[in-house]
Amino acid sequence: MAKTVCSRFHADYSVCVALISDVHDARELRKSVMSGKFEATLLNPEMILDEFQILVAANQAINLHVLNKMVTKSLHSEILYRLSPSKNISDSFKKFGTGENDKAVCVVIVNDKNKSTLDLILNISQGKLTDLEKLANLTDMDKVKKIYKLTDEELSQSPMLDAIVSRIASKDIVTI
């Protein structure tokens, strides 16, 4: 079975991150999330360098959910919003969310104790669970650099993941 990452941030919250490849119907997946058929964050893997990037955003979203201070309407949309350096919600969804024709999807699910949501997503997408180590192979480095406004000088001083995570962590403090 493919590797997924599951983390626990608060006693009542767990986060599962999975990569699905060979997706046949990303459009139906998006529609299912938007209609409330299941709760999940569907990410464009081209924008994700490492699962740690997702876990940082998920931790922020969960903390804001617990404090009742989210910017978006749901915990899963807050995760997507937290990944983006932009404070524009629709821009965050466009850049980091799954497109209708994507062939791979990075899925984030909060509190899926029996993995029924992940099974439902796999069934709808007709895709296959893939090792998260393959995530970096799908990353579009040029897009990531552009969206996070990463400079060559900055990247000569620290790894790209560190720069991205710093931007995610400081989103509410600093505007890029």
The reply to whether 33 falls in a domain is yes
Tokens matching residue 1 = 């079975």
Q: What percent of the chain is modeled with pLDDT above 90? A: 66
The reply to whether 130 falls in a domain is yes
The reply to whether 176 falls in a domain is no
| Confidence label for 134 from pLDDT (cuts 50, 70 and 90) | very high
> What is the number of structural domains in the chain?
1
Average the pLDDT over 110-121 and give the result: 81
Could you report the per-residue pLDDT of 16-45, keeping only the tens digit for each?
899 999 999 899 999 999 898 999 999 999
36 within 8 A of 136, measured Cβ to Cβ = no
- pLDDT of 7 higher than 90: no
Q: How far is CA 135 from CA 123, 147, 153, in A?
A: 21, 18, 25
Average the pLDDT over 89-95 and give the result: 94
CATH at residue 146: 3.30.2380.10
Q: What percent of the chain is modeled with pLDDT above 70? A: 91
The reply to whether 73 falls in a domain is yes
Give the range of the structural domain holding residue 55, as residue numbers without chain letter. Answer: 5-169
DSSP 121-157: HHHHHT-EEE-GGGHHHH--HHHHHHHTT--HHHHHH
User: Whole-number mean pLDDT of the chain?
Assistant: 89
Residue keyed to tokens 């299912």 = 32
Per residue in 9-39, is it b (16+ CB within 10 Å) or e — as a string? beeebbbbbbbbbebeebeebbebbeeeebe
| Confidence label for 85 from pLDDT (cuts 50, 70 and 90) | very high
Predicted structure pTM score: 0.89
The reply to whether 20 falls in a domain is yes
The reply to whether 175 falls in a domain is no
The reply to whether 21 falls in a domain is yes
pLDDT confidence of residue 173: 76
Per residue in 51-90, is it b (16+ CB within 10 Å) or e — as a string? bbbbbbbbbbbbbbbeeeebebebbbbbbbbbbbbbeebe
The reply to whether 36 falls in a domain is yes
